[in-house]
Structure 1
Amino acid sequence: MTAVEVPHRPVGYVVGAILAGGEAALVMAPGMAVSIAVDNRLGPAVPIDEAAIRQGIAQACQQAGWGVQAQAPVQLLARLERLPAQELKFRDARNGNGVTTATMQPFKADLEIRRGNELLWSRGTQNYPPTLLFLGEGETVQQAVTKWERPHQDFFTSLHLPPRIPRHDGPTKPGYSLFRSGTWEDVSLPAPKPAPAAGQPPIAPPRR
C-alpha cells in the first residue's frame, strides 16, 4: 500500500499564487460584465431553440455573479455543430467473433469564454452510444446507434460556471500531474487549438 499526497505540493503553489494575487490573478471574477452569442452550425434541418440557450447561459452567469451586457468585451460563445460521420464497431456478446459496423455522425456542443481572440475558459460535450449497446426486439445495431444522434441543447441550460477563473500564465498557470512509480510527476498541458472559423468544417476527435 502506498500513501499518496492529495492534493500534492504543486497544487498548493498554484492555490497560494491565486490567493496572493487577488483580482489580478483572475481573468473572470464576480461583478464582471459578459455578452452572450450563439454560433449554430447545424442548419435549419435541426431545430434549435437559441432563445432557450441564451436564457440558460444568462442564468448560469447570474449564479456566477457575472452581469450580462450586449456589448461587453468578454463573450460567452455557445457553438453547436456536427462532426463528420464515423464508423463504430460492436462485438456481439452472444458471439465473440461477430462484429457489426454502424455509422454515426455525432453532435457537438461547446461553450467558450473569450476576450477577443483570447480563449479564457471552455467546456464541451458530444454524443456517443454507450460501450454496451442494448438492442430492442427486432432492432438493428444501426437503429440503436442512430438514437444517440441528437443535439446537446440541454448542455447550455444546465451549466455551472465557476465564479472565479484564474489566469493561464505566470504562477497561476494550470498544470497536469500523473502518478507514476509511486510519486507525482508534472507534465505540460497541450496548447488549446483555435476553433474553426464559421463555415469551416470542424476537426473530428480521435475515434473511441
Structure 2
Amino acid sequence: MDAEAQDSFREFVEHRSSALLKTAVLLSGGDRHAAEDLLQNALIKAAGRWRRIEEPEAYVRQVLYRQQISRWRLKWRRRELTVAEPPDTGAGRDGAADADLRLLMRGALARLTARQRTVLVLRYFEDLPEGDVARILGCSVGTVRSTTHRSLARLRALAPELAVLGPPDAAEVPSRDYSPVEVRP
C-alpha cells in the first residue's frame, strides 16, 4: 500500500471505527472483545484491497456480517457467563434509565442465538430491508421474516421490561368498524 492509500485508510479507520464497532458489538452479543476481533479482521481484509474498494464502509460492514455468519455456523458453543447473584435491575431510576435499558437490551440480545441476534441487528439496528438481509445471510426472505418474528418473541420473553418500547396495547388503539352500513335515501 502506498503512502496515499495508507493515509486514506487511516482516515477511514479514525472516522468510522466507532460506528463499525457498535455494529460489531451488537453482532457479537455484547462481547466487546469478540467485537474488537471481528472489526480488526474486517479492517485487515479491507486494508489488503483498499485501492479496489469503491465504498469502504459498505465493504467493511459486509465483511463483518459474513464473518459473524461464519462464527455462528461453527459447531463451537459460546461459553456461558455465570454469576453468583442476578444483576440488580434498579427499581429507582434517577437519570440512568438509558444505561439500564442498554444493559437490559444487551443482556437479552446476548441470550439469543447468534443467528437470531444477527437478523435483528441487520433489520433494526442497520435498518436493512428484508431482501437485503436475506441476500447477506444467504437465505430466503421468508426465512428472514420467520426468524425475525421468532427472535422478537424470544426477546420479549427474555426481557418483558422492554415492552414499554413496543407498540401500544390493542386495548389502547381505537378500533375501526368496517362492517356494512345500510344507507337510506
Fold match by TM threshold 0.5? no
TM (norm. structure 2) is 0.25
Q: Flag the structure with higher strand content.
A: 1
Higher RCO by CA contacts (8 Å cutoff, separation 6 or greater): 1
Structure having the higher helix fraction is 2
The alignment's TM-score, normalised by the length of structure 1, stands at 0.23
